[in-house]
Amino acid sequence: MKTDTVLLQIKNLKAYFSSTLVLKDISLDVSTNKVVALIGPSGCGKSTFIRCLNRMHEETPEAHVQGEVILNKQNIYAPSADPVLIRRKVGMVFQKPNPFPGMSIFDNVALGLRLLGIRKRSVLEEKVHSSLVQAALWNEVKNILKRPGTSLSGGQQQRLCIARTLATTPSVILMDEPTSALDPVSTMRIEELIRHLVQTVTVVIVTHNMQQASRISDNTAFLLNGELVEYEKTSRLFTNPSDPRTEQYITGRFG
Amino acid sequence: MNYLSPTPRDFYRKYFSHFMMGILALLSCIALVPFIAISFFIIQKGWDGLSLGFFTEIPAPPAEGGGGMGNALLGSAVIVGMASLLGIPWGMGAGIFMSEYPGQKLGRILRFTIDLLTTVPSIVVGIFIYHLVVIHYGFSAFAGALALCVIMLPIVAKSTEEILRLVPQHIREAGLALGLPRWRVIINILIPGTYSMLITGVILAIARIAGETAPLLFTSLGNQFYAQNLSEPTSTLPVQIYEFAKSGFKELESLAWSGALVLIVFVFLVNLTVRSILFLYKRRMEK
Amino acid sequence: MDLKLKKHNAKIKNMKAKKQNITRFRSRLDERLNYMKSLACSMGECVEQTISDTQEVVFGKAVLEQKLTSIKKREDQINSLQLKLSKACFRALARQAPVAKDLRLILTCLYANTDLERMGDLAINIAHRTKKMDTDSSLDSCYTTLEKMFQSTIQMVQLSMQAFMKEDTTLAKNVLEMDDVVDSCQTQIKEKSKKVMQDKPHLVPTGVEFIIVSNGLERIADHSTNIAEEIIFLQTGYDIRHGS
């Protein structure tokens, strides 16, 4: 872990909903091209944590954040940092597949590119194609690009959302329980996809499924009541966790 | 004994259920009566007066008979058109603000005001415009349009807000997470995604103001002829129906019935259009 | 290693302190784990009894022919227990997706399973050899050492099974210490019987038997040591085999 380059460095992160402290002083490093899984019981602050990594937390009314998140040597919470620019570098995939309503498959992927000022049809087509290929969806949709994104199956929709995120070439992708609404086969496809994606991006994934975390992640963080209990290599955390609370949680004991 | 075999109480329950359903069905049938009666009545009374002339000619003096409501139809179209031109963007803007910036204090005040405005009787709106505009500039199509616009505004704002609120929060977040600024999320994602439903809301608002009478009495007044420009008193369909129906002349009364038929058919058609749009939209979403 | 153990003991203490309101939602897994442990312990008992039967025969307290049926019965029992245990482990792994300590416990069961089966085989092998042993005054000290070796080995088997049942690292470490005793007994027997064989050629067959029996006992003790090491792995997550 020490030899890897650190892409995302979280230092003393505290997140609030109005005056309630939901994340208590969290510090951890995310290395380039790794999958980091966040596990923990409901309400422990996993989702809030990843939402702090692309400044999405502050979109909730009365929510605010303290601390630093350093992405590629720049603090995304610096006063001069622009959330819009940060979100282009830190993409996000949500729990429910959410293709934009009434938009075709092509447009769903192309929207982010158009936003970046790409207008040329050939360039758009090329980028949409490569994103869909990367998201392992191209073969299924190459003949139906004009159909609405919502006409696809749940698993396909989620891959479409991943393609949409990939189109703007982010360096980090945050995933908030991306497979919790999907069937096992779609789940496996997404998991496989994530393992492919880490060759080019870094993935931070929240999951309720501990087996999923142990299958796909390189490092795992266990959060409990807004506290980071343990952050370890996944192979270590699931065979011999050092904190008794982690052991209790992963073996099914709850206090 | 089979543990599923009914007790006497169960028989009673079954018949009671049938009985209650019968009563409800009967009440529903009775509810249909006014609608059927109105339609039948208006078609019977108004059908004969309908001709090409009705749509193009101005009303003839009562003694001559014939004539039409061309001026009122045109006046209604112009006034409703102007009101929509002003009221739709205005109302939608307010609706978007209320739905997309809910945390803002202004948004809360706006929502409260809009709710109040919806409950203001239309005749009060008429008096208001009368004092604000008509007293200074006289009766005109402008004043009428302004009054209808004020009535339309809360309806459009409310429907826009409600429709946008139907879009799940995570769709907005997906847009934001792609690096879209908030206004881009509204323009590029929310509005295209709810396009047909927004139009539906607008069309219903238009149908609503097309039948308004009271505020127009104070503002556009009426005109026996085609209005020459927008600052003249202008006749509109509901007002002219009102005038003719109480005129006491048989010929004018028959024109009023035909006018009522046209109005009701217009509102029906609008509703039908809206429903089919909604149906198609829903089917497209489900596919 | 000691530091790691200390850390681990602190962890256990911590866990016990917080134990009062912790509920475990894995009753089915727990039931399977207890079942596996009981299977392993039954195997341990069989092994232990076979060894003590052998001891009785060697020291003339019983005749081999009397013991043969019970030894045969135990051999079958060990074999069927081995099958049952490996099946139980396999199924629990497939169905319960165990992690952390649960996973380590199942792995320990699998390792111990092989060890116990080997121990049973070795014990039975020794039992079958014992009929050809002679007595002689020069062999007395050999017999004494062998008796000590038998006792130590039986104790090691018992202790390792207890350690397994209680998941106790201290008992397991005692087993590791006792292995040295058994080893030294074996060396002694080897030296002594070598001498006896040189001095009295007619006792060579018995001397060879001594070496083979002591070798077998040493191997059994070794397997007990393995089990003890596996118990330490189960409790701490550190593999201490081969000095790592």
Per-residue pLDDT at C204: 85
Partners of A248 on chain C (C-beta within 8 Å) are: 15, 22
Quick check: A253 and C22 CB within 8 A?
A: yes
Distance CA C121, CA C82 (A): 12
State pLDDT tens for residues A63-83: 889 999 999 888 999 988 888
**What is residue C71's predicted lDDT score, i.e. its pLDDT?**
86
Mean pLDDT, to the nearest integer, of C169-176?
Answer: 92
Residue A169: inside a domain: yes
- Domain membership flag for residue A255: no
How much is the pLDDT for B268? 87
Which residues lie closer than 8 Å to B210 by C-beta, 6 or more apart?
Answer: B76, B80, B237, B238, B263, B266, B267
Give C-chain residues touching A239 at CB under 8 angstroms.
99-100, 103-104, 237
Q: Cα distance from A113 to chain B (closest Cα, Å)?
A: 10
pLDDT tens track for C42-65: 999 999 998 888 888 878 777 777
Lowest mean pLDDT among B104-108, B258-262, C28-32: B104-108
A250 → chain C, closest CA residue: C99
Strands A202-206 and A35-39: parallel
Give the model's pLDDT for residue A156: 93
pLDDT band at A206 (very low <50, low <70, confident <90, very high): very high
Q: Beta strands A172-176 and A90-93: pairing type?
A: parallel
Give the model's pLDDT for residue C131: 64
Report the C-alpha gap between B90 and B108 in whole angstroms: 17
- Long-range (24+ apart) CB contacts under 8 A made by B63-71 are B64/B251, B65/B251, B66/B251, B67/B251, B67/B255, B68/B255, B69/B237, B69/B240, B69/B255, B69/B258, B69/B259, B69/B262, B70/B226, B71/B223, B71/B224, B71/B225, B71/B226, B71/B227, B71/B235
Q: Which chains form contacts with chain B, at 3 or more CB pairs under 8 Å?
A: A
- Min distance A208 CA to chain C CA atoms (Å): 15
Work out the angle at residue A160's Cα, subtended by the Cα atoms of residues A158 and A165, and round it to the nearest 5 degrees.
Answer: 100
Model confidence pLDDT, tens digit, residues C179-203: 999 999 999 999 988 888 888 888 8
Q: Are C137 and C65 in contact (CB under 8 A)?
A: no
Tell me the mean pLDDT in the region C62-79: 85
What whole-number distance in Å separates Cα of residue B58 and Cα of residue B62? 12
Q: Ranked by mean pLDDT, which of B117-126, B276-285, C14-23 comes out on top?
A: B117-126
Task: Indicate yes or no: CB of A148 within 8 angstroms of CB of B179.
Answer: no
User: Would you list which residues of chain A are within 8 Å, Cβ to Cβ, of chain B?
Assistant: 54, 56, 59, 61-62, 84-88, 91-92, 94-96, 98, 100-103, 111-112, 115, 148, 150-151, 161, 164-165, 168, 174
Nearest CA-CA partner of C203 in C143, C125, C127: C143
User: Using CB atoms, which chains have 3+ pairs under 8 A with C?
Assistant: A
Put simply, the answer to whether A87 touches B287 (Cβ < 8 Å) is no
Q: Where are the alpha helices (DSSP H) in A116-221?
A: 121-134, 138-141, 154-167, 184-197, 210-216
Higher-scoring residue by pLDDT: B11, A95: A95
Per-residue pLDDT tens digits for B9-59: 888 888 899 999 999 999 999 999 998 999 998 898 888 878 888 888 888
CA distance A88 to C123: 70
Residue A147 lies in a domain: yes
Q: Any idea which of A100-104, A144-148, A165-169, C22-26 has the lowest mean pLDDT?
A: C22-26
Q: How many domains does chain A have?
A: 1
What average pLDDT does the structure give for chain C?
85
DSSP E strands in chain B: the ranges are: none
Confidence of residue B208 (pLDDT cuts 50, 70, 90): confident
For residue A223, give the nearest of A13, A4, A9, A70 by alpha carbon: A13
Q: Which residue is it, tokens 């369909």? A: B237
A93 pLDDT more than 90 = yes
Residue C37 has pLDDT above 60, yes or no: yes
For A242, which residue in chain C has the nearest alpha carbon?
Answer: C11
Tens digit of each residue's pLDDT (9 = 90 or more) over C126-157: 887 766 667 777 778 888 888 899 999 999 99
CA B241 from chain centre, in angstroms, equals 18
**Domain C30-243 is of which CATH architecture?**
Up-down Bundle (1.20)
A1 domain-assigned = no
Mean pLDDT of chain A: 90
**Higher-pLDDT residue of A8, C139:** A8
pLDDT digits (tens, 9 = 90+) for B263-281: 889 888 888 888 888 788 7
C14 near A CB under 8 A: yes
Chain A interface test: which of C16, C32, C99 (most A C-beta within 10 Å)? C99
Domain CATH for A120: 3.40.50.300
Q: Is A61 on the interface with C (CB under 8 A)?
A: no
Reported confidence tier of residue C7, pLDDT bands at 50, 70, 90: low
Ordered DSSP codes for A23-61: EEEEEEEEETT-EEEEE-STTSSHHHHHHHHTT-GGGST
C-alpha separations of C132 from B79, C40, C184 in Å: 124, 33, 25
| Residue A136 belongs to domain spanning | 6-250
Chains C and B touch each other (3 or more Cβ pairs < 8 A): no
Task: Name the pLDDT band for A51 (thresholds 50, 70, 90).
Answer: very high
How high is the ipTM of this complex?
0.87
Q: Which domains does chain B have, with CATH numbers?
A: 69-286 (1.10.3720.10)
Residue B69 or B26, more confident: B26
Phi and psi torsions of A152, nearest 5° = -80, 165
Q: Are A254 and C23 a contacting pair at CB < 8 A?
A: yes
Give the model's confidence band at C12: pLDDT under 50 very low, under 70 low, under 90 confident, else very high: low
Closest CA to B85 of B193, B194, B183, B209: B209
Residue C58: which residues within 8 A CB-CB, separation 6 or more? Answer: C130, C133, C146, C150, C213
pTM of the shown model: 0.78
pLDDT of A255 strictly over 60 = no
* Spatial separation of the C-alpha atoms in residues A40 and A50, rounded to whole Å: 13
Residue A2 has pLDDT above 50, yes or no: no
Asked if the structure places residue A65 within a domain, the reply is: yes
The verdict on A178 touching C (C-beta cutoff 8 Å) is no
If you average pLDDT over every residue of chain B, what do you get?
86
The whole-number pLDDT of residue A1 equals 43
- B237: its two tokens: 């369909």
What number of other Cβ atoms are within 10 A of residue C121's Cβ? 18
Q: What is the pLDDT of residue C20?
A: 55
Chain B nearest C-alpha distance from A247 (Å): 33
